[in-house]
Chains A and B, each alone.
With several copies, the nearest count.
Chain A
Amino acid sequence: MARVLLFGRLSDVAGWRERIIDPAPASLFALRDLIGAEDPALAEALGAKGVQAAVDRVIVRGDAPLGAGAEVAFMPPMSGG
């Protein structure tokens, strides 16, 4: 099981903000491909420049394994202040 969170414009594109994927794929890239497979617009948005992923609240560059109950967040470029 993995909990997936979308932020910023990604949740607008997908039409959802949070989702449980069960069973969870073994890796971040496999998870990204899975949620993108059923939604080409989301797949494109997830692949856009500057989109980052965090696994269990740690920013990850490249692929990463997903543990049991992982929290995976996809985040467009950040813009505070």
Chain B
Amino acid sequence: MIRLQQDPFEPGALLTGFSAGRSETGAVVSFTGLARASGGGVERLVLEAYPGFTEAQIGRIAEAARARFSLQDLMIVHRVGEIAPGEAIVFVATAAVHRREAFEAADHLMDYLKSQAPFWKKERGPDGERWIEPTARDISDAARWEQERGEAP
């Protein structure tokens, strides 16, 4: 399940739904990305998407994870619009028979969502607005998965 939404969501409620009735799943990993206040420097995070294209790109990222790892299921929920500190921005969950696959698939999904999903984010604070671009670490994190397969870095 892949969903973009304006309204706040509760990560625990999503995990409850995702984990329910899984009598053949051994491992569920979830990742929740939260908006940080940065000591009062950020009052709102504002997330922009490209409607239609963003969902399609997330779908491609999900397909790549399904093709690479032995997953039974995955879920991606991403906010757009204005997000207050402490609220969830993104929730990813993976289900697999064994824990290694569930961990690696969640890690992989997040690395690609960070650097290859069409979102643009700015922080709004007492000193105005500031666009956030992917960090060098975000880019190198995603590159890890290419290198492991012996592809060009």
Task: List residues of chain A with CB under 8 Å of any chain B CB.
Answer: 5, 7-9, 12, 50, 54, 57, 73, 75-81
Contact of A78 among B90, B116, B122 (CB under 8 A): B116
Shortest Cβ gap from B88 to chain A (Å): 11
Interface residue? B121 (CB, 8 A): yes
Given A79-B115, A80-B114: A9 and B120 interface contact (C-beta under 8 Å): yes
Contact of B132 among A5, A12, A50, A79 (CB under 8 A): A79
User: What separation, in Å, do the CA atoms of A5 and B118 have in the docked complex?
Assistant: 13
Interface residue? B145 (CB, 8 A): no
Interface residue? B105 (CB, 8 A): no
21 residue pairs of the A-B complex, CB under 8 angstroms, read A7-B50, A8-B48, A8-B120, A8-B131, A9-B122, A9-B131, A57-B53, A73-B50, A75-B120, A76-B131, A78-B134, A79-B115, A79-B132, A80-B78, A80-B114, A80-B118, A80-B119, A81-B33, A81-B89, A81-B117, A81-B119
**Chain B, interface size: which category?**
20 to 34
